[in-house]
Structure 1
Amino acid sequence: MRFLFVVPPFPGHVNPLVAVTAELRTRGHVVAWTGAPGSLAGEPVLPCGTIPLPPRPDGLQGFAALKFLWEQVLVPLAEAMAPGVEAAIGQFGPDVVVADQQAFAGALVAQRLGVPWATSASTSSDLADPLSALPKVAQWRADLLAALAERLGAPAVDPRFSPRLVLAFTTAALAGEGPAGVTFAGPALGARPEVDFPWQDVDPARALVLVTLGTVNTGAAFLAECAAALRERADRVQAVIVDPSGTLDAPGALVRPSIPQLDVLARAAAVICHGGHNTVCEALAHGLPLVVAPIRDDQPVIADQVVTAGAGVRLRFGRAKAAQLGKAVDQVLDDPRYRAAARRVAESFRAAGGAPAAVAALEALTGHCGLPAG
């Protein structure tokens, strides 16, 4: 079988699917991508249009932030991607299109061309329907999607939810039950590019705390407050801080522009982060409690999931100072209930099956059972 993966050019939406495509190839299927960065670990990537991502104005919150994301990023991106998606379908001839929830063009073009499509829910925020209590905002979003579908000549379907299969890379233990038809596969953790890291400087006698804001967020002031909080606890805590800007002055901490995150998590005791879905799920897959300070978009929803699961503490990103951060770190390190809750979520992730479970669901969608490649 042939599977075309349509993703937005955001690393966090690509990473969960790398392990899925590797598993598909192991079972003898053929895979291609479109919408992904031009180079993806040697995998075939078909050309697709994109847009220059507009700078997000400082201080956007609430509906203003949602409006910016949809009107300035997601809808224009779908229109830019649509011709490339159609060309990729024509060139590759997929049996199934797997479309990321924010790559609307994948779903809408596949629907128009009559190609079966599945949804990749790289974040679980929409599964909880966060706009259910805001009917006017929900209608505004529905109208945007309907107008987009009309412009692309597609039926008026919600491109975020395939009627055939929605793959969610989480579990109900973290995200709640979700709507009918969702397959909870848990995180799909696969191989990542190698990144240099000074393992010789890791102190096994201290608790390692990872601080990261993901791949697209900036927060120099927040990172500085985290560094100060952890420096006060340097007798028992070692900080690893991801600072892509290379500007953070944090004596005593291991500050790197990028890290081999899964390997670092395997040695960590806790994580401070922004509530990005991948970071949260990767931390919880390792049974690690979290201090979560969401910035925008889906992050407040994910942060609430962490708190509801009992696996962490939530702080306000713009107001979190060293004293608050230090207290929160003490809580998740010293109170065993947070780690116990994180481990319960980790157990649910393992039971869900990860990439093999996702591939089994895709094979069931096509009625095909893959065979190991010879």
Structure 2
Amino acid sequence: MSGFLFVVPPLVGHINPAVGVAAELTARGHRVAWVCADPDLVRRLAGADADVFACDGVTGVERPPDLRGPEALKFLWEGYLVPLADAMAPGVRAAVDGFRPDVVVADQQAFAGALVAERLRLPWATSAATSAEFTDAYDGMPRVAAWLRERLTELRGRIGDPSGTADPRFSPHLVLAFSTPELVGPTGKKGEAIRYVGPSIADRPTEPGFPWEWLDPGRAKVLVTLGTANADAGGRFLAECLTALRERADRVQAVLVDPGGTLAETGGDKDVLILPAVPQLPLLARVDAVICHSGHNTVCEALWHGVPLVVAPIRDDQPVVAAQVVEAGAGIRVRFGRVTEPRLGAALDTVLHEPAHREAAARLRTAFRTAGGAHAAATHLERLGTGRRHDRQPRAETR
């Protein structure tokens, strides 16, 4: 039996992929614990009995909604990721002391997990909740790449091993990429430590009350979602979606997720159902297309079900993931900030009625399910943990 300590930021999209892996390890008899600045969020997603060590986090970060490109990336790192690592580090160290793991499983954006493990000479694995870092996205921006390396070097000097050399985003021991080469593309990173395990799809607690009887079997069904972190930016886009969907009400029925309440909720409407949250996984098994912000989890969960997409990336890794979807043939990209109802409607008509996108989504569905998901990830972690336990065994004296 090995012990695995999952270090995650307080973000749903980064915790969810780890939940299935942690559950699989627990089912195999291993010890599992978590470190997060929001223990209640982990317990909501991983179960009320999850063993969670609290740590400090970063609060009050308000990113201007119009930031894009390198400026958005700089804000993400300076305003959130680096301060989060500094804040989390003491709590991660205390959790290691208290739980005594064989392996630290650090989210790719929870740098504290990797750097503390490096400092304590513990093997660590990277949990890559998005595949954006596996592409050549920074190849054309050498100054941006150099700036990122400088920030990581400074951070290592504060909380890691100053003599260390590993990139805390890519463990030299094991990198769990929750995608496949079929989506990432032929230029995706490769290496002995990188394991493309596909999406980690696990049952999630959901609030009861979704009106499943509302779904009309005679019409195509569309899910519209911008994820949980984009309520501040989505009002205009959701309004354009609503118009396009109503124009197609004779043949399309839609569920539109509006957590920020920018649109009026609908009750008796038989064409568009507007809700603040939905049971996304079971709903994806019933829809024919998804319109989304190209968040990695939403994209992979849609493709896990063989559902083609209309993607409208907003920021961060989303443009990279959107490009992967388009290059794989599984969807169409529209411009989030400038899309109009006619363009959005035309893209939706294409993914609904032209077979090429659905066929590409079906191919990715097969690749995802073949990759092994949480089961494969747990097996790779077990092997890393077994090596750690063997290293701990007393060695016979040589004479």
TM-score, normalised on structure 1?
0.96
Judge conservation of contact 2:37–2:56 (CA < 8 Å) in 1: no
- Alignment partner for residue 216 of structure 2, among 175, 200, 203? 203
Deviations for 1:38-57, whole angstroms, at most 9, x for unmatched residues?
A: 22122111011101041111
Deviations for 1:315-337, whole angstroms, at most 9, x for unmatched residues?
A: 11001111111000000011100
Aligned to 2:300: 281
Alpha-carbon distance, 1:204 to partner:
1.0
Alpha-carbon distance, 1:257 to partner:
0.7
| Residue type of the alignment partner of 1:146 | T
Q: Does residue 227 of the first structure (1) align with residue 236 of the second (2)?
A: no
Q: Does residue 170 of the first structure (1) align with residue 179 of the second (2)?
A: yes
Judge conservation of contact 1:36–1:45 (CA < 8 Å) in 2: no
Deviations for 1:4-23, whole angstroms, at most 9, x for unmatched residues?
A: 00000111000011111110
Aligned to 2:73: 66
Aligned to 1:140: 147
**Match of 1:17, SS?**
helix
Alpha-carbon distance, 1:153 to partner:
4.0
Aligned to 1:51: 58
- Alignment partner for residue 79 of structure 1, among 78, 83, 86? 86
| Residue type of the alignment partner of 1:88 | A
| Residue type of the alignment partner of 2:289 | A
Q: Which has the larger radius of gyration?
A: 2
Deviations for 1:159-213, whole angstroms, at most 9, x for unmatched residues?
A: 1000010001110000124221310111111111122311111111111100000
Question: For residues 185-196 of structure 1, what are the structure 2 equivalents within 5 Å?
Answer: 185-195=197-207, 196=209
- Alignment partner for residue 214 of structure 1, among 227, 242, 245? 227
Aligned to 1:259: 278
Aligned to 2:356: 337
What percentage of aligned pairs have identical amino acids?
58
Aligned length: 369
Q: Does residue 114 of the first structure (1) align with residue 114 of the second (2)?
A: no
- Structure 1 stretch displaced more, 152-161 or 182-191: 152-161
Aligned to 2:397: none
Aligned to 1:371: none
Aligned to 1:17: 18
Q: Supply the distance in 2 between the matched residues of 1:303 and 1:336 (Cα, whole angstroms).
A: 19
| Residue type of the alignment partner of 1:173 | E
TM-score, normalised on structure 2?
0.90
| Residue type of the alignment partner of 1:8 | P
| Residue type of the alignment partner of 2:248 | R
| Residue type of the alignment partner of 1:62 | G
Q: Which runs of 5+ in 1 are unaligned?
A: 369-374
Q: Supply the distance in 2 between the matched residues of 1:53 and 1:225 (Cα, whole angstroms).
A: 30
| Residue type of the alignment partner of 1:48 | C
| Residue type of the alignment partner of 1:300 | P
Deviations for 1:54-98, whole angstroms, at most 9, x for unmatched residues?
A: 111131111110110011110000000000000000000000000
CA RMSD of aligned residues (A): 1.3
Judge conservation of contact 1:16–1:187 (CA < 8 Å) in 2: yes
Aligned to 2:373: 354
Q: Supply the distance in 2 between the matched residues of 1:9 and 1:101 (Cα, whole angstroms).
A: 13
Q: Supply the distance in 2 between the matched residues of 1:187 and 1:348 (Cα, whole angstroms).
A: 10
Q: Supply the distance in 2 between the matched residues of 1:360 and 1:352 (Cα, whole angstroms).
A: 12
Q: Does residue 327 of the first structure (1) align with residue 346 of the second (2)?
A: yes
Structure 1 consecutive aligned stretches of length 4 or more whose deviation exceeds 4 Å: none
Q: Supply the distance in 2 between the matched residues of 1:160 and 1:58 (Cα, whole angstroms).
A: 26
